[in-house]
Structure 1
Amino acid sequence: MAFHEIRFPDNISRGARGGPERRTQIVGLASGDEERNASWANSRRRYDVSYGIRRADDLDAVVQFFEARNGRLHGFRFKDWGDYKSCRPSESPAATDQLIGTGDGVQTAFQLVKRYTSGAQTWVRSITKPVAGTIRIALGDTPQPSGWTIDPATGVVTIAAAPGSGVTVRAGFEFDVPVRFDSDTLDVTLDIERLGSITSIPLLEIRR
């Protein structure tokens, strides 16, 4: 299985439906209480992109994209319009948005992450598909226009000179979600005006 570094058409993904999924086991006790255990440490995103098809050309684009990916075989990039920035949706990414590490004088590689915080609880999500040209890096609170590189296929930032001990490494960016089709079939319905429609086109986030 390969991953194709190509993004699903933005004009269709904008109308998609979906979001994060968690897996929790709940056991009811004889006392009426319950025990809850998280089966997954991290969430996984699901989408249905059939809602974004508005024209016959959209349908054609999806069919071509599906065939080029060999159905479920190959992964690809998907823009989740509800969550694609290191900052709030109304803001533009800044170099100080997300803490991705702290220097120790030796480490030079840092994984992009995004933190989701509510109250005292925080979940850290690894970002593996940043969008080239949108990444900003800061050491401490000082933006760094150069002196670093980014691997857009993994989201790993490499600093040319290892940050000193205690120096924070921060980043701002836009990102895509690595997904695959979750069906090997496109059930296309042709109406009398020959516009066509597909009842469901499920996508599933790829977790490594």
Structure 2
Amino acid sequence: MTFHEIRFPTTIAFHSTGGPERKTEIVTLGSGFEERNGVWLHSRRRYDVGYGIKTLDDIHAVIAFFEARAGRLYGFRFKDFADFKSCAPQTAATPRDQTLGTGDGTTKSFALKKTYASGPTGWTRAIVKPVAGTVRVAVGGVETSAFALDATTGVVTLTTAPATGAAVTAGFEFDVPVRFDTDALAINLAGFRTGEIPSIPLVEIRV
């Protein structure tokens, strides 16, 4: 197993920096025009949580977490405070936030996802690490509790298959699957009861 279902300490994660990353190849033609090609279909998030280290106890917690993950070997959960809900961070999630699919009278399982829309375009992100106890589901606009959630994959399975044409929607909180992007921690003991780890890079992984 290369992923541990455990969350990085949120008190430290709250002070992190980082966000989504894309990979685009750009060729500038002799005329000055550009040809641009999106290499990645999906974005990948990177973070640095070093700024969240404030005390020796914080350092101790990170060392323990780092050693238990064997550096870069095992993935884990990370709460991105800028983007951790099916809606905006300061808005309460509702069971109608995100559309998961449409009923066909047979299908019972639907994968959680979040769509980021701006103007006429958008991008849909698979949500594979939802937070248990936060997922709310609606079928045809009516909330239901008749479902089971696999919190390790983000798949919701309804007890009864939705009728043909019925919209299946959901609201939820989620974590980002990440790993350490270093096999070494550079610890600086700046004071008697304080210290720092200037950089602790994390990178999103596919699971």
Range class of TM-score, shorter chain: over 0.9
Aligned match of 1:3:
3
Aligned match of 1:182:
181
Return the offset for 1:88. 1.3
* 2:172 maps to amino acid: F
Rounded to whole Å, the distance in 1 between the matches of 2:188 and 2:93 is 41
Rounded to whole Å, the distance in 2 between the matches of 1:173 and 1:191 is 40
Contact in 1 for aligned 2:53/2:195 (Cα 8 Å): no
Rounded to whole Å, the distance in 2 between the matches of 1:192 and 1:84 is 34
TM score, norm. by length of structure 2: 0.98
Unaligned runs of 5+ in 1: none
Rounded to whole Å, the distance in 1 between the matches of 2:6 and 2:190 is 30
Contact in 1 for aligned 2:112/2:126 (Cα 8 Å): yes
Contact in 2 for aligned 1:130/1:176 (Cα 8 Å): yes
Aligned match of 1:153:
152
1:51-200 map, 5 Å: 51-144=51-144, 146-193=145-192, 195-200=194-199
1:22-33 map, 5 Å: 22-33=22-33
Measured against aligned partners, the alpha-carbon deviations of 1:140-186 in whole angstroms (never above 9, x if no partner) come to 11000x21100000000001111111100000000000000000000
4+ runs of 1 displaced by more than 3 Å?
none
Instruction: Report which stretch shifted further, 29-38 or 191-200.
Output: 191-200
Rounded to whole Å, the distance in 1 between the matches of 2:127 and 2:49 is 22
Q: Give the secondary-structure state (helix, strand or coil) at the position aligned to 2:199.
A: coil
Instruction: Report which stretch shifted further, 13-22 or 195-204.
Output: 195-204
Rounded to whole Å, the distance in 2 between the matches of 1:119 and 1:31 is 30
Q: Cα 1:160–1:189, aligned 2, differ >3 Å: closer, same or farther?
A: same
Contact in 2 for aligned 1:2/1:74 (Cα 8 Å): yes
Q: Percent identity?
A: 57
Aligned match of 1:205:
204
Rounded to whole Å, the distance in 2 between the matches of 1:182 and 1:46 is 9
* 2:153 maps to amino acid: T
Contact in 2 for aligned 1:44/1:207 (Cα 8 Å): no
Return the offset for 1:56. 1.1
> RMSD in angstroms over aligned alpha carbons?
0.9
Q: Give the secondary-structure state (helix, strand or coil) at the position aligned to 1:188.
A: coil
Return the offset for 1:194. 5.2
Contact in 2 for aligned 1:3/1:76 (Cα 8 Å): yes
Measured against aligned partners, the alpha-carbon deviations of 1:58-107 in whole angstroms (never above 9, x if no partner) come to 11100110000000000000000000000112211100110011011111
TM score, norm. by length of structure 1: 0.97
Contact in 1 for aligned 2:138/2:169 (Cα 8 Å): yes
